[in-house]
Structure 1
Amino acid sequence: MTMLFWLLVGLLILIALAFVLPPLWRQRPVAAADMDKRNIAIAKMRLAELQEQLQSGALTQAQYQEQRTELELALGDDLDIAGTDAVSVQGRWMAYVLLVAIPLLAVSLYAGLGTYQAIEPTPEMLAAAQPAQPNIEDIKKMVAKLAERMKTNPTDAEGWMMLGKSYKYLKQFPKAADALAKAYALLGDQPEIMLQYADALAFANDEQMAGKPAELVFRVLEREPDNITALWYAGMAKAQAGEAAEGVKLWRKLLALLPPESQAQQEVKRLLSQLEASLPNGVAGGAATATGPAAQTPAVALEVQVSLAPELKASVAPTDTVFIYAQALSGPKMPLAIARKQASDLPLAVTLTDAQAMMPNMTLSAFPKVKLLARVSKSGNAMSQAGDLIGAVEPVATSGKSSHTIVINSQVK
């Protein structure tokens, strides 16, 4: 690559010299005929002057003849001079100077200002060219400054909206819900703020849509029946409430509104099929039969032994919350079954079953394999946060009864 770079440099310098040097180097011949014409024209003018002087008495006849003879001799001498020699234009010396100066100047400037290694960048250069990832601590500082500013400007609805979204990004959902509640009070029933508020409330309540979140979502649907986000939340709310048939109707409508073959549509299809499988025979258009997956799936009971790595014991308080839960290997991270304990109980043992599911259609029985996790949370929030301690084991088969061991041995980044 370095050789290629210098070849390109040389080519560009040659192109520059091709424009600059020829005009300086080239000789400009002056044709002999042109010089003769010029000398004759001058002689005629001088002869006319002599004749005028003779007529005016300024010259005698003898003086006139003498000067005319001299003029004729001078003209003869001029016409005998060889006029075919080329007359060089002064400046050829500049061609030599530029021939050396242009390459030298180009290389010197690029050596000082350019980076020829960029034609073959090193891993370090590529890493430096990548956009810097935002530092979580910097984000927290900016969010804290925004929170302080909102104390002195409590009527700034957009500020509360931004603060609520920022808290959601940091997974501080109770604070997000409080900020969005203030924005909602100022903005009123606007679909965007209503859905943001409902989402924050649900996450602050272990992802449960019951109550205020569901109320907000269905009020949005009254205003905008085809709102995609509202249809998603509404279907989830119905499923969590045990009204699977209503949830199926909402998600079928959502499915028709999503772009064909999009990732979102594929995900909704998968979840919709699971929700339909939980319906009795003939319900919601015969989506499931009596011999479907929900009817045939045997009960699942996963025994889980949880312990804490010795090197992390000093960083855990007895009152810290411990969540033991199962997740699908792919797709939504909503727990399929979850148990809540305290760090003082460690080491501990729990059994995860379908009875601990957060949604009727999202159960252990609906998945052949799952991921088991145990997490220590100082905030008590069911959502994973930076600084939590965690351990996991996967994949785990859900068929029959089995026992598994989880060691909490790492920190969430």
Structure 2
Amino acid sequence: MLLWAVLTVIAVITAAAATIPLVRRYEAQATPKQAVLAVLSDQLADVDAQQQAGTIAAPEADALRLEIKRRMLSTGREVEAKVRPLGTGALGGLAIGLAAVVAVAATALYATLGRPDLATTTPAPAAPLAPTATTGAPDIASVVGQLEERMKRTPNEPEGWRMLGWSYFQTSRFKESAEAYRKALALAPKAPGYASAYGEALVQAANGIVSPTAVQAFTDARALDPADARARYFLGLAKQQSGDRKGAIDEWIALLGEAPADAPWGAELRRVIGEAAKADGIDVSARLAAIVPPAPVTTAPNPSAEQVAAVKAMPAGDQQAMIRRMVDGLADKLKANPNDPEGWVRLMRARMVLGDTAAATTARRQALAALQGNPAALAQINEASQSLGISGK
């Protein structure tokens, strides 16, 4: 009798598991509107990060925030239809019928194939499952599509074209980005940042080649704002590609000397200068020494075999605590010296291994903000994010 009582309980649980999805509230399901709002919220965070990094001016950042918030309000007011394939009464009847079928089928199956005469044994406890990380990439394409539709309706809005160019650039659609920036620049030729953004999109679309059109865009940008770091860097790169390596080094050293001491791209620019000078046999050590020295790059050393063995001998709980302390230590080092793309990749990977998708996403956002002005490092971060399954938040 005890066996049949246990089997009855199991059949009831199985029937409940099969029928609960039929009668649960559909209102609790995630909606497309929530996904769009999540993407817009992430765009707000990206604007804050870019303003802190100095890649966009405060008025431009305020305009972006205003537009994104307007779209959030517009999306929030949209009413989504409830999806309920059957009425409440029909769902209830279907659930009861399915439960009955499950119970009868289970009883018949056991009566045919089961062995109630065997002695009951206590199974060994199953090994706990390792935590898994799940990610849900928001539908960024739909958001970009909405912006595309908006520009079809309002083609004379320069800020809309600038936002579309920025969205294309973030998704590596560089040719479309350059075209959108070109339209924005044609409508507002003196808007801050438009010309240099257009030039950078042209460079990326040409696989790193600074074309004459891009040179003109950067020249116009520097004429509007002599402190435009992006324009000055790429104008130096244009000199290097045209054979004027000394002129490129002079341009970059001047830019480095006028940059803030905490500029996130300062250490990378110093490295570029050093490599260019070494390749051409030019001694720039004294000129670089006169500029604020870069912060030392700190990387976490690989553990020794003894350290690995000691960790494996620890209880599972202590192992997890030690791993988390090591990961947090890496995060602290990156705060002190953010110009370390390999370190950011290690941090993102470690966060994902620990199952902390939110922390991995935060690390990605911090890395993109810290490495602004370093296209190669940004590409490395984006590539690692895609391989790890970290969404673009």
TM-score, normalised to structure 2's length? 0.38
Q: Whose strand proportion is higher, 1 or 2?
A: 1
Higher relative contact order (CA closer than 8 Å, sequence separation 6+): 2
Q: Whose helix proportion is higher, 1 or 2?
A: 2
**Bigger CA radius of gyration:** 1
